[in-house]
Amino acid sequence: MVTGRRKKAMNTSRARRELNRSPDADDQLTHSNLARELIGACLQALKTYGLDERKLLHLAGQAAGKRPRTISSSALLLSDAEQLAKTINRWGEDPRYMDVTGRPAVLATAGADPCFADLAREFFPKRNVFDVVALGCKTLVMERVGIDMVARINSAVLFPGNSVLTLAHTVRTVRWLLGTAQYNRHMRAGPILGFPDRSAHVEISANDFAEFVTMIRPQISGLLEMSDRWLFQRARMQRSRHQKKTLAGIQVFVFRE
């Protein structure tokens, strides 16, 4: 039990320490608190993948003591998804694979000119076309039409029910977000020179959220397709071929706490 006089002395001592703490010390304390919160959020999310606290703490110790791999596990797992995304993008921008309305055409799987096999061969040169079709159907970007035709039904590669690919995608998303934050925290001349990082959020009902998702989905798809088209065209320009390059782009997602 703490008496009133002793409690007052403790509060006075604490206040004196607060006054004597330098701004740098305050920053370090805030950094520590925020880092603890970030680590806690990551650990809490990872527990939903079946990893218990003891295992997570062991993995965290391993990660802290190891140098990052040249090729990450997430990059290896997402390699097929990346190639499939490029295939789907080409399907929506190359006139050979579009119909008279300017939309992705329903294509023969193989044997015709053009056909999906021609498209798939560009990005999966060592894979059987039927394996690529199966991957596209599993990730909900395409579907079979009849026996020997395929149609594009989505502009984004999805991982429904696949916890491994979902986690790999999460790792990559977090890494990119931290990279943007790392760049922006060193900017001194104002936000206009930093990497764009914007958000819009407000408390709404479940019904309103469902309507929001329906409304914003085509807007996001349009923005990503426009961005992807610009990036691919710029990367293919003659003046860019011999310059040093780094991976760059845009990622957008809807969230709900």
- The per-residue pLDDT for 5 is 52
- The per-residue pLDDT for 140 is 87
If one counts every other C-beta atom within 10 angstroms of the C-beta of residue 115, the result is: 19
- The per-residue pLDDT for 97 is 95
- Domain borders along the chain are 1-67, 72-192, 198-257
- The per-residue pLDDT for 2 is 44
Query: DSSP secondary structure string, 68-126?
Result: PPSS-HHHHHTHHHHHHHHHHHHHTT-GGGB-TTSSBPPEESSSSSSBHHHHHHHH-TT
- The per-residue pLDDT for 255 is 93
Encode the chain (257 residues) as per-residue pLDDT tens digits. 445 555 455 555 554 554 455 557 788 899 999 999 999 999 999 999 999 989 998 998 888 876 666 567 888 788 888 899 889 989 988 999 999 999 999 999 998 889 999 999 999 998 999 999 998 998 889 999 999 999 999 887 878 778 888 899 899 999 999 999 998 888 776 656 788 888 999 999 999 999 999 999 989 988 988 898 898 888 888 776 778 888 899 999 999 98
On whether the pTM is more than 0.75, the answer is no
- The per-residue pLDDT for 15 is 46
Answer positive or negative: Cα dihedral of 123, 125, 126, 131: positive
- The per-residue pLDDT for 101 is 93
